[in-house]
Structure 1
Amino acid sequence: MKTAKYYLAAIFAYAIWGFFSLVLKPLSAYSSVDILFYRIFSCAILMLLITALFKRAELVKTFSTIKALPSKQRRNMLLLNIGGSIFLNINWFSFIYVLNQVSIKATSLAYLVCPIITTLLAYWLLHEKLNKVQWTAVGLSIFGCLMLSYANIMDMVYGIVIGFSYAAYLVSQRKNVGFDKFILLTFHISLSALLLLPFYPAYSRPVPTEKLFWLLIEVIAVGFTVIPLFLNLYALKRLNSSTVGMLLNINPIIGFMIAALVFHESISLLQMAAYSIIFISVVVFNAHYLLKRKQRQLPDRDNLDLAKEPG
């Protein structure tokens, strides 16, 4: 039970993102850059307000903790957070562009590639250990992605760009421990907004006036950015980057179903088989957690039966 809530946090975060196309597709007439600008600016304003009103004590504590760090550790911490903001910016822009200008299936492939990249980065950079069953699950996932890229190699190219940027964010934040997660997320998003601000006058179009645009932007800012990113960082407090990365497959599996059932994008038998294999890989990768829970419960039942026996 110690890790159950962290698993649930990751599952909820990626399930939410699976439905992202439902609010993003209605904005396909707008520039991907404009959607990115207003999404991040809205998030930054909202989170700074929440921090100023309700999280001032945590903010002061975070600054005190950073000041108390040795200079090398403080520098590494700042690099992790600045790098995290840059990776988020790249991920958000590439995702919005590909979803609105290419296809939902291409973005789904991106978040199928991401868990593989995350697992490999975590293995090489963080030295996270995987057992043979988990490596088998990674192999299944790679096989499923290769099946999907067979029909359209460019989807794989887009997928690697989107997937690597988010994988790099996940791995960097796994080492970013000991700080309030909401304060860290506020920093990531606020820095993202500052990085984008110089580009706004040159690349933005006239400010949209449609009420639907602003309603959907606020839904994206709160429901599809702040909440799932916070749940994601919370899950990383106890779960390995590779585990969180593999759970990310929930996102594209839901996205794939929406592409087929809601937006009626053409789906081949090959794609259905590939997604089925990838779904199996998620179950196999996390089977050790389910088995551990089952084994932990069995002794309790045995002890209960013994307690009931006379003498």
Structure 2
Amino acid sequence: MKKEIQQSESRGKYFLAAFLAPLIWGFMSIAIRWVRDYPAEDILYYRILTALIILWSFILIFRRSVLQTDILHYQSLQPTEKRKVIWLTLLASVLILGNWFTYIYAVNHISIQSAAFAYLICPLLTAISAYIILKEQLSTIKKVALLFAMISVGMLASGSILEVIWSISIGLLYALYLIIQRVAQGFDKLNVLAVQLFICALFVIPKLIFNHNSIPDSPTFWITILIIAVLFTIIPLYLSMYALTKISSTTTGVLLYINPLIAFTLAVFYFKETVDPHKYIAYAIIVLAIILFNWQTIKRLSKK
């Protein structure tokens, strides 16, 4: 019993990190809407470059020894392991780049509800993918929770086909990203994120050079980009990656439901989007699914 409590306490901070990441992301639509008059690709490009500069500056000033340790660790790997790390990092970078672009475009040009719907689908895709690819086991109560979640998603999918397509794209990209982060272990998560941002920058810099749009000169744009880069990119991504060192991809994925619940609330009460009555029932079912899926973890943390 004492050992179980100690394990629960040691996992508590990882569970908290997994909880905080989607909580922060839930409010991201507010910042994205501040710059809705700018092309989605420009928002994406400057978000990546700003986050890249800030994160690498922080690492080189305050965490150089940690970076050196990771470099030595990579050099000590066998050639096959090195290739695996390279390919997983490249794939993760492409997936998160695609997720960011589709999310920004959906929020500003489709609807905030479509972005929220994406992160309703994402945990289902993450849990199922982890079950198939990583062989992560699901208890009976978790399977019941996923069944409830699937019923809810089916209810929400009865709306616009266009919104559903965008939502599936956003959710699938991030679900696969989570799976890769769970597989790719052994390196400091902040350094991993910095490398992923660097790879993303390699994709966007050529497009930015040949971009026909002029560089924005509005202070509001750059302040918003700074907020998006730090508060809605570096911090939650690091929290998510940190949580995956001890928390399963399935649990992390289901906690993502916090994101759409907040986004849905903002869409209704802040952005005044019209919501069909049946969607309220669907979101209530998802709340029940979240509680069921994490019931054992909630019980352990409540004891702490």
Secondary structure at 1:128 match in 2: coil
Q: What is the CA-CA distance between 1:154 and the residue it aligns to?
A: 2.2
Instruction: Report the CA distance shift for 1:43/1:180 in structure 2 as closer, same or farther (over 3 A).
Output: same
What is aligned with 2:13?
5
Deviation of 1:204 (Å): 5.0
Aligned residue number for residue 53 of structure 1: 61
Greater shift, 29-38 or 266-275, is seen at: 266-275
Counterpart check, 1:150 vs 2:158: yes
Go from structure 1 to structure 2 and tell me whether the alpha carbon gap of 1:148 and 1:204 turns closer, same or farther (over 3 Å shift).
Answer: farther
2:102 equivalent among 94, 98, 121: 94
Q: Which runs of 4+ in 1 moved over 2 A?
A: 201-204, 290-294
Give the letter for the 1:217 counterpart. Answer: I
Residue 203 of structure 1 deviates from its aligned partner by 3.2
Equivalent position amino acid for 1:11 in 2: F
Cα distance between partner residues in 1 of 2:27 and 2:230:
14
Distance 2:195 2:96 in 1: 12
List runs of 5+ in structure 2 lacking aligned partners: 1-8
Deviations 1:240-272 (A, max 9, x none): 001000000000000000000000001121011
> How big is each residue's C-alpha offset from its partner over 1:40-95, in whole Å with a ceiling of 9 and x where there is no partner?
00001111111111111111110110111111111111111111111010000000
Say if 2:22 and 2:256, in contact at 8 Å, map to a contact too: yes
Counterpart AA for 1:26? W
Q: Which residue of 1 aligns with 2:81?
A: 73
* Deviation digits for residues 94-132 of structure 1 (CA, Å, limit 9, x no counterpart): 000111000000000001000011111111111100001
Shifted more, 189-198 versus 219-228: the winner is 189-198
Cα–Cα, structure 1 residues 204 and 218, in superposed 2: closer, same or farther, change >3 Å? Answer: farther
Supply the AA of the counterpart residue of 1:145.
V
Q: What is the TM-score of this pair, normalised by structure 2? A: 0.95
- TM-score (normalizing by structure 1): 0.93
Q: Is the aligned partner of 1:123 residue 2:131?
A: yes
Match of 2:26 among 7, 18, 25: 18
Matched position secondary structure for 2:271? coil
Distance in 1 (alpha carbons) for counterparts of 2:257 and 2:212: 33
CA contact (8 A) 1:40 1:189 kept: yes
CA distance in 2, matches of 1:72, 1:280: 44
The equivalent position to 1:28 in structure 2, one of 25, 28, 36, is 36
Structure with higher Rg: it is 1
What does residue range 80-229 of structure 1 map to in structure 2 within 5 Å?
A: 80-203=88-211, 205-229=213-237
**RMSD, aligned α-carbons:** 1.2
Matched-pair contact (CA < 8 Å) for 1:33–1:203 = no
How many residue pairs match? The answer is 296
Q: Which moved more, 1:136-145 or 1:101-110?
A: 136-145
The alpha carbon displacement at 1:197 in A equals: 1.1
Q: Does 2:262 align with 1:254?
A: yes
Letter in 1 for 2:228: I
Q: Distance in 1 between matches of 2:161 and 2:286?
A: 18
- Does the Cα contact within 8 Å between 1:27 and 1:213 map onto a contact in 2? yes
TM-fit CA distance, 1:293: 4.7
Identity among equivalent positions (%) equals 34
- 8 A Cα contact 1:144 1:278, kept in partner: yes
Matches within 5 A, 1:38-49: 38-49=46-57
- Alpha-carbon distance in 2 for matches of 1:211, 1:55: 31
Instruction: Kindly indicate whether the alpha-carbon contact (under 8 Å) linking 1:85 and 1:188 is maintained by their aligned counterparts in 2.
Output: yes
Secondary structure at the aligned position of 1:267 is classed as coil
